[in-house]
């Protein structure tokens, strides 16, 4: 796990950009926000892990397979860099986790009849919401 994070951090390219938000005049003078770029294909993830990673990354992943993380929560470059690297590590760790298998629910006979009766009641309520005819 830590090996994968270390590999990812070695492949990361960082650039600093101007950030909005708190910081007063410092925001206008210093580029405090950090933008991490990582070529996910270079990590050589297993197909299942890659699929989960791609799903977790969402719109932060480009069509070329590049993950773009922007951190601008803090006022300093170093704090934003640490935040971005931590978020990248969390994303990789989450992608490594296997999803838990869903246990199929089992209803007994009484539960099944109660569920169907409830559906009938609800259907009758909805059926009464139709157009009213005065014939």
Indicate the fold that domain 2-96 takes in CATH. Answer: Double Stranded RNA Binding Domain (3.30.160)
pLDDT at 25 over 80: no
Cα of first residue to Cα of last residue in the chain, in angstroms, is 73
Q: Which bin fits 99, alpha (ψ -120 to 50), beta or left (φ > 0)?
A: beta
Segments making up each domain of the chain, as ranges: 2-96
pLDDT at 22 over 70: no
Averaged pLDDT of the chain: 85
Asked if 45 and 67 touch (Cβ cutoff 8 Å), the reply is no
Q: Could you read off the pLDDT of 103-120 as tens digits, one per residue?
A: 888 889 999 999 999 999
Tell me the whole-structure pTM to 2 decimals. Answer: 0.67
**100 vs 119, which has greater pLDDT?**
119
Count CB neighbours of 106 within 10 A: 6
Report d(CA 90, CA 45) in Å as an integer: 15
Report d(CA 37, CA 65) in Å as an integer: 10
pLDDT at 15 over 80: no
- pLDDT band, residue 1 (cuts 50/70/90): low
- pLDDT band, residue 86 (cuts 50/70/90): very high
What's the pLDDT at 27? 66
């Amino acid at each position: 796990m830590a090996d994968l994070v270390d590999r990812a951090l070695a492949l990361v390219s960082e650039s600093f950009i101007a950030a909005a938000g708190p910081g007063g005049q410092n925001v206008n003078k210093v580029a405090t926000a950090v933008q991490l770029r990582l070529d996910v294909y270079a990590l050589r993830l297993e197909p299942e892990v890659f699929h989960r990673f791609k799903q977790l990354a969402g719109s932060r992943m480009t069509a070329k397979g590049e993950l773009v993380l922007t951190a601008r929560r803090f006022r300093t470059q170093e704090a934003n860099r640490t935040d971005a690297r931590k978020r990248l590590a969390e994303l990789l760790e989450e992608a490594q986790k296997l999803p838990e298998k869903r246990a199929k629910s089992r209803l007994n006979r009484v539960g099944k009849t109660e569920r169907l009766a409830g559906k009938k009641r609800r259907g009758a309520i909805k059926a009464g919401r139709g157009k009213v005819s005065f014939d």
